[in-house]
Structure 1
Amino acid sequence: MRVFVYLIVFFSFFDLFSQLPIMSPFAFSLGASSFMTGLAVGMYSFSNTIGNVISGFLTDRKGPFIILLVGLFASGASLLLYTLAIGPISLLGIRFVHGFMEGLIVPAAFTFLANRAEESKRGRSVAISGAFVGLAAIVGPAYSGIVATKTSTPFIMSVNGVIMFILAISAFFMLRSFTYVKKHHSKQGKHFRVRYLFQHPGMVRAFAGAFFLMFSQGVLALVLPLKVETLGFDTKTTGMLLSTFGVVAILIFLLPVNRIFDKVRPMITLAFGISMMGVSMLILSQVSELLHLYIAMGLYGVGFSFLFPSINSLLIDSSSPEFRGKAYGYFYAFFSIGVVAGSSLIGYLDLTFKGGFMLTGIILLFVALYTILGMKRSLQLTE
């Protein structure tokens, strides 16, 4: 049962990562401007934010099974709508529906996994889930980048939709035996727990890490495919570059080095991870040789592999099973907001490739510095 939920996590992120090499070129092919292209890339994540928050509340009330089932069926249907895109406006509408429906899946899936993780091994447990995310980051962009050269973006999204339908049917039979004890809370208690999510320092840091992780992903989704095309390469090259960080990340997730996530404080690995991502962005802003682009994406993978388990561990340590659905709902809402902020900001500023990557790198390095300073203040207060 746990392995099947990992599979759901994999395909949810597979759908996300398979969009990265193809969505901005697809928007341009429909006549979108630079701003509309950035909006189209970010619209998925904007509506995904709403779906994440709703999923978190419903997961705590109804349990993860029914939310996963509805999310998988609805996502499958929304993915088929891409065949109806005829212009930028219709694409924005389809992106909104797709993002909202898929936003129901991930908080419920991660709540299921987190509630079954042994406390002493929670670092390695989230590393394993991160490995499935990393695997999706390898397979998704490479698949869509290669297939897009022979077919079309609507075809790729339709294939993803069929996969979601298969998962939904399988989930009905494999997960329905999962028992969920409904909790009864007072209205006042619910409001207290929501406020608590934004008052606990560990939770706030987890939310911030999620936001800036996906802020950088939004910039990559918008800028990298366009830079690669300008350098004379095709979507296949973009897919391989995006897969590079996934290969590096999954190796760190699965090799014995993953024990570091149980032994080292999450704040330390968080600061290291986000600083590596910042350095990779600065490198991307300066280089034009393909080999150097691969090196930069490899560094990004190192940063991703340290940041993702860190923010998940912070969330698990800072929440209880009673309201973990809400915690993951807001957590993945910040994931989605980050993508919207990254792609929309760079699109709105109409920055060059160099400017977009450089601005993102500087922001990430400032966040890493702020994290380190905050950690030092916490140590001083406990002494």
Structure 2
Amino acid sequence: MYILLVVAFIDMFSQLPVIAPFATSLGASPIIVGSVIAVYSFSNMLGNVLSGIWVDKFGSKRILASSLILAGGLVFLYTYVANPTQLLAVRFFHGFAAGFIVPAAFAAIGRNDDSESNGKKMSHSGAAIGMAAIIGPAMGAIISSRFGIEWLFYNISAALILIGIISLALIKSKPRGIKKANIKEDAGFSFIKNPDIQFAYIAIFLLLLMQGLLTYAMPLKVEELNLAEEMTGIFLSVFGIVAIIFFVLPSNRIFDRVNNRKLMFSGLFTIALSIFALGLSTSSSALLISMIFYGIGFALLFPSTSATIMKGTNSQNRGKAFGIYYACFSLGVILGSFIAGILGTSPTLIFTVGAALVFISSILMFLKRKHILNKS
């Protein structure tokens, strides 16, 4: 399952450095290039929600296998794209098909309701995604520059289809009997009323909102400090490396020993402070330290939010819950880049506004949670 997650996210991350130049080479205007990038996240969000509903109805195995194979076929179609309109269409359907993969994968990982290891399982999942975030962009840039962009699409397509076929053989079907026992009480969307799950949705949305801001503003900050352009990639990789180290070392035990709510608050405050520090940074060493703390905040947030989803759901509604979770994931990325674009080209302003958004939202959630506890 973790290898499956790596392949699924490499599919997305590997195209980040090449899809804009590819669209431009087809004659796309700047507006169309932006649309080509955004339409994937939009349709991916739709796929996330629908995937959650179907996973609870049909089980993870069939949804995973079919979506992986379909996504692989759609990636292959990129090699036949001849104009921006065709590229937009392929990107939309590719994002939609890929949107089914991750909620189904997390529902399968969380099938066994072992609450004592939920945090550890989610930290390993986070490590898989972090590895894809580091490998994917470098892989996309290297293959497309040395062999041509079509070979990137060939390789990703083959990997998705192969993993899809393998998943049919290796992933176990949903155990029989569970559905009948739980569907009357637990198959709906009642989990949304859970304050901790609401907090998890808002927290992951804010994390990915900051990721969108970071992706947009980091090149501007590097340029402002007159650093080499390649430093952008190095700084963006640092947080992923820090998070992976945190996930795979014994430090991952914290996710099963400390209350997830406390971890989410700690992660959000760490993210807010690191983003604010990025805006104030005046040297490469300051940027590096800020990104290390951003990685720690990311490492605290991702497993604690996803473990909260697992803990607050059951086998009959976990797919829906993770579908909404990853829809918040996609929405955060979309709005992050959009807000950064509105704020302009001042990285200090972008980072300051981002830090303020996370800090104020965290305080409001803390006060709401305190009010609920006092009321009960």
Confirm or deny a common fold (TM above 0.5): yes
3-state SS, counterpart of residue 317 of structure 2: helix
| In structure 1, C-alpha distance between the alignment counterparts of 2:6 and 2:134, rounded to whole Å | 11
Alignment of 1:126 with 2:119, yes or no, is no
Choose which of 299, 306, 309 in structure 1 pairs with 2:300.
306
| Deviation for aligned residue 1:297 | 2.3
Alignment of 1:94 with 2:94, yes or no, is no
Paired amino acid for 1:181: R
Q: 2:10 is matched with which residue? A: 14
CA contact (8 A) 1:67 1:105 kept: yes
| In structure 1, C-alpha distance between the alignment counterparts of 2:122 and 2:267, rounded to whole Å | 15
Alignment of 1:243 with 2:243, yes or no, is no
Decide which moves more: 116-125 or 351-360.
351-360
Q: 2:193 is matched with which residue? A: 199
Mind listing any 5+ residue stretches in structure 1 that lack a counterpart? Answer: none
Q: 1:341 is matched with which residue? A: 335
Compared CA separation, residues 293 and 116, structure 1 to 2 (3 A): same
Mind listing any 5+ residue stretches in structure 2 that lack a counterpart? Answer: none
CA contact (8 A) 2:197 2:308 kept: yes
- What percentage of residue pairs aligned between the two structures are identical? 34
| In structure 2, C-alpha distance between the alignment counterparts of 1:124 and 1:178, rounded to whole Å | 23
Alignment of 1:1-383 (within 5 A): 5-24=1-20, 36-84=32-80, 89-147=85-143, 149-150=145-146, 153-175=149-171, 177-181=172-176, 183=179, 193-194=188-189, 196-225=190-219, 233-234=228-229, 237-287=231-281, 289-382=283-376
CA contact (8 A) 1:197 1:327 kept: yes
Decide which moves more: 27-36 or 139-148.
27-36
Compared CA separation, residues 379 and 224, structure 1 to 2 (3 A): same
CA contact (8 A) 1:39 1:343 kept: no
If the length of structure 1 is used for normalisation, what is the TM-score? 0.85
3-state SS, counterpart of residue 340 of structure 2: helix
Compared CA separation, residues 240 and 26, structure 1 to 2 (3 A): farther
| In structure 1, C-alpha distance between the alignment counterparts of 2:184 and 2:115, rounded to whole Å | 29
| Deviation for aligned residue 1:90 | 4.3
| In structure 2, C-alpha distance between the alignment counterparts of 1:265 and 1:97, rounded to whole Å | 39
Paired amino acid for 1:116: N
3-state SS, counterpart of residue 168 of structure 1: helix
| Deviation for aligned residue 1:251 | 1.1
Compared CA separation, residues 304 and 223, structure 1 to 2 (3 A): same
Alignment RMSD (CA, Å): 3.1
| In structure 2, C-alpha distance between the alignment counterparts of 1:14 and 1:85, rounded to whole Å | 21
CA contact (8 A) 1:21 1:238 kept: no
| In structure 1, C-alpha distance between the alignment counterparts of 2:86 and 2:311, rounded to whole Å | 42
Decide which moves more: 219-228 or 271-280.
219-228
Paired amino acid for 1:50: L
| Deviation for aligned residue 1:227 | 5.6
| In structure 2, C-alpha distance between the alignment counterparts of 1:257 and 1:203, rounded to whole Å | 24
| In structure 1, C-alpha distance between the alignment counterparts of 2:233 and 2:292, rounded to whole Å | 14
| Deviation for aligned residue 1:51 | 0.6
